[in-house]
Amino acid sequence: MKRIPEPEELMDEADQALAYAQADFSASNELFIQLFEQLYAGEFTGLALDLGCGPADIPVRFAWRYPQASIDALDGAQAMLDLARQAIENNGLEQRISLHCQYLPAPRLEKKYDALLSNSLLHHLNDPQDLWQTIRNSAKPDATVLVMDLLRPESPQAVDALIAEYAGDAPEVLRRDFEASLYAAYTLDEIRGQLAVASLQGLTVSQISDRHLAVQGRLV
């Protein structure tokens, strides 16, 4: 099935950001943390960067799971960052999670990171190199990379089946977001091609659920 890009890359409408922040993504966000645990043996104590952090549910979960970690969380949408700030304050994590309003492609970021994280950003990007080059340029040697996203289904019927299964009762705005995201998602082969262009072939790309994929590994 042909890819249809998202109508807008950023989620900068207050209503859309709020509907997204109020939706229950706990299962997939917890899966993200479990994948990181499998990838990074031991206690992570370094500096992580979360790209396209949205309302910061993943940085908050990561901070609770790894109490010695610090996280820089970046998003281009101020509406999302306003919600992220609330979540961080509600969890008392202001000292460990810092927010950055930054649209990708970014000029080179100042810091280098021990872990590069991203969930559900890739399918928003019309130029996926905006993500992969940021990861390559911002990683310390031996950094851990975990990128999770939706996988584009093979047919419109498969899209409809996923919407019925996972968003049947969701508000209309979220059902439309989910549908647009599934059409905009990349395939495993497309991502392998993107990684080759970015010289990130060391990362592995795999399907991890009926609708998710992960790109993961350590950089050499």
CA max distance for the chain: 46
Amino acid 121 reads: L
Q: Is 18 in the site for ligand SAM (CB under 6 A)?
A: no
Secondary structure, 3-state, 31-90: HHHHHHHHHCCCCCCCEEEEECCCCCHHHHHHHHHCCCCEEEEEECCHHHHHHHHHHHHH
Tell me 202's DSSP state: T
Q: Distance (Å, rounded) from C-alpha 204 to C-alpha 220?
A: 13
- C-beta closer to ligand SAM: residue 201 or 209: 209
Among candidates 187, 185, 184, which has minimal Cα distance to 206?
187
104 vs 101: CA distance, rounded Å: 10
- Single out the residue of 16, 119, 144, 216 in contact with ligand SAM (rule: CB under 6 A): 119
d(CA 63, CA 61): 5
Smallest separation (angstroms) from ligand SAM to the CB of 137: 15
Smaller CB separation from ligand SAM, 43 or 58: 58
- State yes or no: residue 213 binds ligand SAM (CB under 6 A): no
* Site for ligand SAM contains 80 (CB under 6 A): yes
Residues 81-110, one symbol each (x = binds ligand SAM by CB under 6 A, - = not), give ----------------------xx------
* In the complex, minimum distance from the CB of residue 75 to ligand SAM, in angstroms, rounded to a whole number: 5
**Binding positions for ligand SAM, 182-201, rule CB under 6 A:** none
How many other C-beta atoms can be found within 10 angstroms of the C-beta atom of residue 70?
17
Residue 25 engages ligand SAM in binding (rule: CB under 6 A): yes
Q: Where are the alpha helices (DSSP H) in the chain?
A: 14-22, 26-39, 57-65, 78-90, 129-138, 156-167, 172-184, 188-197
Shortest CB 198 distance to ligand SAM, Å: 16
Select the residue whose beta carbon is closest to ligand SAM and give its number: 54
Is 64 near ligand SAM (CB under 6 A)? Answer: no
Tell me: does residue 128 bind ligand SAM (CB under 6 A): no
In the complex, which residues of this chain contact ligand SAM (CB under 6 A)?
A: 9-11, 25, 52-54, 57-58, 75-77, 80, 103-104, 119-121, 124-125, 130
